[in-house]
A and B are shown apart, each in its own frame.
Chain A
């Protein structure tokens, strides 16, 4: 198993540009999450999904959008990038199919995004 994979690893955007951060997992997990981590801070939840076709907002959703068309993929879309979105973005998944997502969260390696 590759676990949770994220692409790209690094990206520099100009203010106002848009991009999609990709996340995929091969563990058949129902639950998937997007977090951002700012320097010296804990992770903050942006969006999460409890299954294909179902997404919901986390603590800091403004400026982001997500979709979940398959169990495996959970892309995060940034529209009109702003310097405040400079951060490291982590995708995570948990819970085998049929579970209530009580299992351990497995994280991807992260995407380091800079908005100039």
Chain B
């Protein structure tokens, strides 16, 4: 059974720092991996989606990498801003319609 973990569970950084969030999964047979942002009391917003054949995706200050063989993905946030404060979740999808989410990393960027 696929399991997804995220480290750290919470992170607090000063504004302007570059940071890395980690996602690990136990079964490398994935179709894609997606990173989401969740603001308090709100739904999830997709940030980046990496297909299993890809190594990374970039959007603005965000860069996500995928290493299927080691069961790892990282989300890199450059020059963090207070508006980046949110919970970040990763989710892996198998070759069916099974999506498994990690518990998330709660990020606080201090002004």
Q: List chain A positions with a Cβ less than 8 A from chain B.
A: 4, 31, 33, 35, 40-45, 48, 50, 56, 58-59, 90, 92, 101-110
A59 touches B98 (CB 8 A): yes
Complex formed: what's the CA distance from A92 to B89 in Å?
Answer: 15
Q: How large is the interface on B (under 10, 10 to 19, 20 to 34, 35 or more residues)?
A: 20 to 34
How many A-B contacts at CB < 8 Å in the complex? 57
B99 touches A45 (CB 8 A): yes
Residue of B nearest to A109 (CB): B43
Cβ of B32 under 8 Å from chain A: yes
Complex formed: what's the CA distance from A86 to B49 in Å?
Answer: 30
B97 touches A109 (CB 8 A): no
B99 touches A33 (CB 8 A): yes
CB within 8 Å for A41 and B43 given contacts A48-B97, A59-B98: no
Using Cβ atoms and an 8 Å threshold, which residues of chain A touch B31?
102
A104 touches B34 (CB 8 A): yes
Using Cβ atoms and an 8 Å threshold, which residues of chain A touch B99?
33, 43, 45, 105
